Structure 1
C-alpha cells in the first residue's frame, strides 16, 4: 500500500494543531535544548534542523551519546540492528551525519521543514506501518492526547493493546518550542544554520559608554548633542 505523503503531512499538521500533552515533557525538552550546539554541528553538515536531530536522538537512544542516531547501537562498533552494517565511527557526530545522509529515509535530502513536513519525515524515520493502518504513530504522538495505544513490538508485529512508554517526537517538539523560538521558524525551506561559535561579548558599560537604554545613555546623548550644537554655532 502506497502512502500519500501529502495527505499524511496534512493529517500530522492537523494533529499538531489540536494536540495536548498527557505526560511530562518539560524535563526531556530542556535536556535536549541544552545540547543545541552539539546538534547544530550535525545540522551544519546535513541541513537537518537541530531540533529534529535532537528528538530522533531521544527516541532512538534516550539521548545516549554512546549510541548511534540511526538505531541506538554503539557508534564505535558495526551496527547489528537496522540499518545494520554501519560503522564503526570516530564520534557520535560522524555516526549522526552518516545516519541522516546515507540511511533511509535520507533526512539530509528532505526539503520540507514546515511543521507537517517535519512530522512526516520523522514518521518515515520510524516507518509508515502506522499510517498504513490509519492510526497515529506513537513515534510522534506518544504522551499526547492524539495517541492511546498500539505499537509494533518487533518488525512486522503490531499489537493494538501495547502502549508506547517513550515520549513522542511531536510532544517533545511542542515542549521545546516553548523554550526556543528558533524551532519551526516561518520558512518552509531548509534553514541556514550558522556554524556554532562563542557569541561576541558586548563591551562592559562604563561612564563614557553606558548600557544602551539606561539613564546614563540618555545623559551622554544629551551632552553630545549640546557639544555638537556648540561646535556648529
Structure 2
C-alpha cells in the first residue's frame, strides 16, 4: 500500500496543532538543546535542521554519542542493523552525515521543512507502517495525547496493545521550542540551511569581470566605448 505523503503531511500538521504533552519532555529537551552547536555542524553539511537531527539522535540511541544516527549501532564498527554495512567512521559527525545523505529516507534530499513536512520526514525515518494502518506513529507522537498504544515490536510485527515508552519527536520539538523559539515557529517552517553543494558562491571580482562601480569597471566601460566607436567608423 502506497502512502500519500501529501495527506500524511496534512495529518501531521493537524495533529501538531492540537497536540498536548501527557509526559514530561522538559529534561530531555534541555539535554538536546544543550548540544545545539554539535548538531549544527552536521546541519551545515546536510541541510537538515539541527533540531530534527537532535530528535532523531534521541529516538535512535537516547542521544548516545557512541551510536550512529542511522540505527543506533556503534559508529566505530560496521553496522549490523538496518541500514547494515555502514562504517566504521572517524566520528559521530561523519556517521551522522552518512546517515542523512546516503541512507534511506535520504533526509538531506528532503525539501519540505514546514512542520508538517519535517514530521513526515521523521515518520519516514522510522518507516511508514503506522501510516499504512492509519494510526499515529509513536516515533512522532509518543508521550502526547495524539498517541495511546500500538507499536511494531519487531520488523513486520505490530502489537496494538504495546505502548511506546520513548518520547516522540513531536513532543520533543514542542518542548525544545519552549527553550528556543526559533526552532519551530508555530505552523511555520523548521529553520534549515542549504548544504554546501547547493550553495552558489558569489562571483569574485577580476580583470575580466571587475566589481561594479570600481575603477576597473570604469576602465572596462571606456574600452568598450572605444571599441564600439572603432567598429562603427
TM-score (norm 1): 0.81
Distance, in Å, in 2 between the alignment partners of 1:168 and 1:157 is 20
Structure 2 counterpart of 1:192: 193
Matched residues in 2 for 1:60 and 1:32: separation? Answer: 13
Q: Which residues in structure 2 correspond to 1:41-80 (within 5 Å)?
A: 41-80=41-80
**Unpaired runs of 5+ in structure 1?**
196-233
- Answering whether residue 20 of structure 2 is matched by residue 20 of structure 1, we say yes
Partners of 2:123 and 2:84 in 1: how far apart?
20
Paired with 1:187 and 1:100, the residues of 2 have a C-alpha distance of: 23
What SS class does the counterpart of residue 193 from structure 2 fall into?
A: coil
State the Cα deviation string for residues 27-60 of structure 1 (Å, max 9, x = none). Answer: 0000000000000000000000000000000000
CA–CA distance in 2 between the matches of 1:120 and 1:194?
Answer: 20
Could you state the TM-score of these two structures normalised by the residue count of structure 2?
0.81
Deviation readout 1:150-198 (Å, 9 max, x if unpaired):
0000000000000000000000000001111221258648733799xxx
Uncovered stretches (5+) of structure 2, i.e. residues with no partner: 197-233
1:150-165 matched pairs, under 5 angstroms? 150-165=150-165
Tell me, in whole angstroms, the C-alpha distance in 2 between the residues paired with 1:103 and 1:190: 22
1:111 match: secondary structure: coil
Q: How does 1:108-123 map to 2 (within 5 A)?
A: 108-123=108-123
> What is the Cα-based RMSD across aligned positions, in Å?
1.7
Report if the CA contact (8 A) 1:77-1:88 is conserved: yes
Distance, in Å, in 2 between the alignment partners of 1:171 and 1:81 is 26
Secondary structure of 2:179 counterpart:
coil
Task: Name 2:83's counterpart in structure 1.
Answer: 83
Instruction: Flag the 1:113–1:158 CA change in 2: closer, same or farther, 3 A.
Output: same
**Count of matched residue positions in the alignment of Structure 1 and Structure 2:** 195
List per-residue Cα deviations over 1:95-146 (Å, max 9, x = no partner): 0000000000000000110100000000000000000000000000000000
Inter-CA distance 28–48: structure 2 relative to 1 (3 Å threshold): same
2:173 maps to which residue? 173
Contact 1:112 1:190 in 2 (8 A): no
Contact 1:112 1:189 in 2 (8 A): no
Question: Would the alpha carbon gap of residues 193 and 36 (structure 1) be closer, same or farther in structure 2, given more than 3 Å must change?
Answer: farther
Cα distance in 2, alignment partners of residues 42 and 59 from structure 1: 17
Separation of aligned partners in 2, 1:50 and 1:74 = 21
